[in-house]
Amino acid sequence: MTTCSPIDDGPRACPGGLSRAFAFLGKRWNGMILGTLAQGPAGFAELARALPGISESVLSDRLGELARVDLVSRRVREGPPLGVSYQLTERGAALLPALDALARWADENLPARGC
């Protein structure tokens, strides 16, 4: 496991991969959207209901970001009625063990409320 550590007795630096991962996954809602889609494909309205507090514009933005980095795919369902569903890609599913580990850690180490 790569963690933040001192480099050659110089200043501490966090590895680039860890920094990039938390910059992206630490962005509000991204991890929760991925965790929700871990339960299976979902439509926009279903995702909005599953994530109380997220606005439709933010959900749309985050889904676009996740799709651009190939963690989520968007599929148009032919109608009637016409619909759109989102699901994890192979790359998105590859994150699930890490997200599960974070969830277990939070359950064991963080208070249920007040974070």
On the question of pLDDT at 115 being above 90, the answer is no
Predicted confidence at residue 78, as pLDDT, reads 87
* Residues 6+ positions from 35 with CB-CB distance below 8 Å: 99, 103
Cβ-contact 62, 33 below 8 angstroms? yes
Tokens, residue 76: 């148009």
Predicted confidence at residue 11, as pLDDT, reads 81
Q: Per-residue pLDDT tens for 7-64?
A: 566 788 888 888 889 889 889 999 999 999 999 999 999 999 999 999 999 999 999 9
H or E element that contains 38:
none
Nearest to 89 by CA among 66, 60, 62: 66
What are the C-alpha distances in Å from 108 to residues 3, 36, 38, 86? Answer: 20, 21, 21, 31
Per-domain residue ranges of the chain: 16-108
What's the CATH number for 16-108?
1.10.10.10
What is d(CA 73, CA 11) in angstroms, rounded to the nearest whole number? 40
pTM check: above 0.75: yes
Q: Per-residue pLDDT tens for 69-98?
A: 999 999 998 888 889 999 999 999 999 999
